Structure 1
Amino acid sequence: MTAGPRDTPSSPRVRSNLQLRVISAIVLGALAIAATWAGGFWFQLFCALIGALVFYEWAAMTRAICDRRAQVLAAIALAVALLALVIETPYLSFIVAGAVAVMLVATLFDREAWIVAGGIYALVAALPLALLRGHEFAGLAAVLVLYALVWGTDTFAYFVGRSLGGPKLAPAISPGKTWSGSVGGAVGGTLAALFVGYLCGVAIDVRLVLVLLIVSVISQMGDLFESWVKRRRGVKDSSHLIPGHGGVMDRVDGLIVAALAFWLIGGLVGEFDAPARWLFPV
């Protein structure tokens, strides 16, 4: 809600909303870190839950223009893939490929392919993050550094953008974002990630700094993509599941693409079974 004459930054309504956002952020951050620390089944379940909620919100936003048969097919395919992730079946790659194939079949009913895109987006929300964590300490360090990078990028982009202002980054998609905020977010997020990496015993070098800067920019692109989807569907928030924040997609848009980037970089240069070993040697 845009602050009006009575909704100044110091007004009770704005302070109350800010307090609600802070409390929600602390609770969600604590849950994410606890699941990440636990690893194994609990983290796989955490990632599957993110994927399921992302699909739920996407489907809700696009329900009016999607064929019911396409929605059912995509939902079943996604559910099977997420279940395979949680139970850690050795056939996960084949099951995911099959799920994507079923989703593509759904385009026979949904010519605009919105629900199919949502199903694939939900898979991307769950799989790379879970595979990046794995069962090694390097995976734990990788995900903790990823959190620091994405959360730091969001936080610094917000405060630097509000403080410095300047030219808009993408006014047609997200009018509030500025180039100063984007640069400040990338620098601040990278520094936050390096600090967490240092605490985890990660070897800090130029290669890692470059990777973090690139992924910080990619995370901001993920934020813009989700803003574009919401603008196309004419909604402000993806849902109202999180008090003071909106929906799950609103909170994990940058994390989704950042985790994908970490997994791809680590896999292509190192190995896809353990991408964190190359990215975060500890």
Structure 2
Amino acid sequence: MTDGASGGGRPRATELRLRVISALLLAPAVLLATYAGGWPFAIGAALCAAILLQEWVVIVRVNSVISTGIAALALAGAMLAVATGHVQEALGLLLLSAAGLFGAGWLLGMAGLRWLAVGVLYAGLTGVVLVVFRAGEAGFIVILFLFAVVWATDIAAYFAGRRLGGPKLWARVSPKKTWSGALGGFGAAVLVGLVAGLLAGRAPLAVWLVAAGILSVFSQAGDLLESALKRRFGVKDSGRIIPGHGGVMDRVDGLTGAGVLGYLVAVVASGVLSDPVAALLGMQGY
């Protein structure tokens, strides 16, 4: 979600039109890959992760070709591992490569390497977590729910912030985001949880509502994290690959926050890496 997504100023009509057209073109491809699952979805997630890493490298201004190549190889290896069902190995590779890059940056006094290490985790965990969720027992529903919560949060925050304005959410990090936008996004996400609970069943309605609320908060945290990163390095957009939207990171920052943080919570609660959602539901007898 861009800085203008939750308040402050009216974007130009042309920009808004480009956003709508881009979303209409991209959404069907994303949903088709999600429906297919398996390798089509894994390839899509890997491509997304690769672009995220590339944009991260540009933002933090890493100039070392060798270090960037190591990061790219680690990401590729992790995505291949998770696509073939080796979740623990994928996560281990990301952690080891990030630790190595961070350690090298620390010893050599190169801040760029330390930022690159964080980027490996940011991009890699985004891709790995998406594949893990989709490969789960209820993977299709889980991914659709995740997408719906993030998209509803993003869209509602955008329009609620523009229309209502009011106090800033965190002015130092993102001057245009407001509490009205954040609450509007949260409310929309809870509504998604209500609809999902009524349609999907299995777990009680309260579980869907709580999950939607938590994921919405995580989504907005991911958005603020990206805003803080761009402000730290004086960058407006992560890239220009999507007309009207900027870079891929600008579009999936909320998905990264909701997906990665949601996955970590589920893993801690269930003790399972490969399909923590199914494990949690099973523990509760659903």
TM bucket (normalised to shorter chain) is 0.7 to 0.9
Residues 1:279 and 1:150: Cα distance change in structure 2 (over 3 Å): farther
Instruction: Output the amino acid matched with 2:164.
Output: L
Greater CA deviation, 216-225 or 269-278? 269-278
Alignment partner, residue 169 of structure 2: 169
Q: Residues 92-122 of structure 1: CA distance to partner in whole angstroms, max 9, x if unpaired?
A: 4224313431332223543320111111111
Give the C-alpha shift of residue 130 in structure 1.
1.2
Whole-angstrom distance in 2 between the partners of 1:279 and 1:154: 27
Write the distance in 1 (CA, Å) between the matches of 2:140 and 2:187.
23
Contact 2:150 2:219 (8 Å CA) reproduced: yes
Farther off after superposition, 72-81 or 181-190: 72-81
**Letter in structure 2 aligned against 1:59:** V
Give 1:185 shift. 0.7
The answer for the alignment partner of 1:205 in structure 2 is 205
Q: Residue 75 of structure 2: which of 75, 78, 91 is its match?
A: 78
Show the counterpart of 2:98.
Answer: 103
The one-letter code of the counterpart of 1:80 is G
Which structure carries more relative contact order (alpha carbon 8 Å, separation 6+)? 2
2:60 to 54, 62, 71: 62
Does the Cα contact within 8 Å between 1:153 and 1:189 map onto a contact in 2? Answer: yes
- 2:281 and 2:31 map into 1 onto residues whose CA distance is 20
Shift of 1:39: 0.8
AA at the equivalent of 1:38 = A
Letter in 2 for 1:79: A
1:279 to 1:21, Cα distance in 2 relative to 1, 3 A? farther
* 2: CA distance, partners of 1:233 / 1:41: 36
Aligned length: 271
Is the CA contact (8 Å cut-off) linking 1:81 and 1:96 kept in structure 2? yes
| Percent of residue pairs bearing the same amino acid type | 39
Q: TM-score, normalised by structure 2?
A: 0.85
Q: Matched residues in 1 for 2:133 and 2:63: separation?
A: 33
Asked whether the 8 Å contact 1:66–1:114 carries over to 2, the reply is: no
SS in structure 2 of the partner of residue 175 of structure 1: strand
1:267 corresponds to which residue? 267
SS, match of residue 238 in structure 1: coil
Partner of 2:24: 26
Offset at residue 263 of structure 1 (A): 2.1
| Pair 1:54–1:131, CA change in 2 (3 A) | same
Alpha-carbon contact 2:203-2:281 (below 8 Å) kept: no
C-alpha contact 1:141 1:202 (8 A) present in aligned 2: no
Deviation of the 1:129 alpha carbon: 1.5
1:25–1:37 CA distance, 2 compared to 1 (3 A): same
Deviation at 1:214, TM superposition (A): 1.7
The code of the aligned residue for 1:273 comes to S
Which stretches in structure 2 are left out of the alignment for 5+ residues? none
> Partner residue of 2:256?
256
Q: SS state of the match for residue 122, structure 1?
A: helix
Equivalents in 1 of 2:161, 2:281: separation in Å? 30
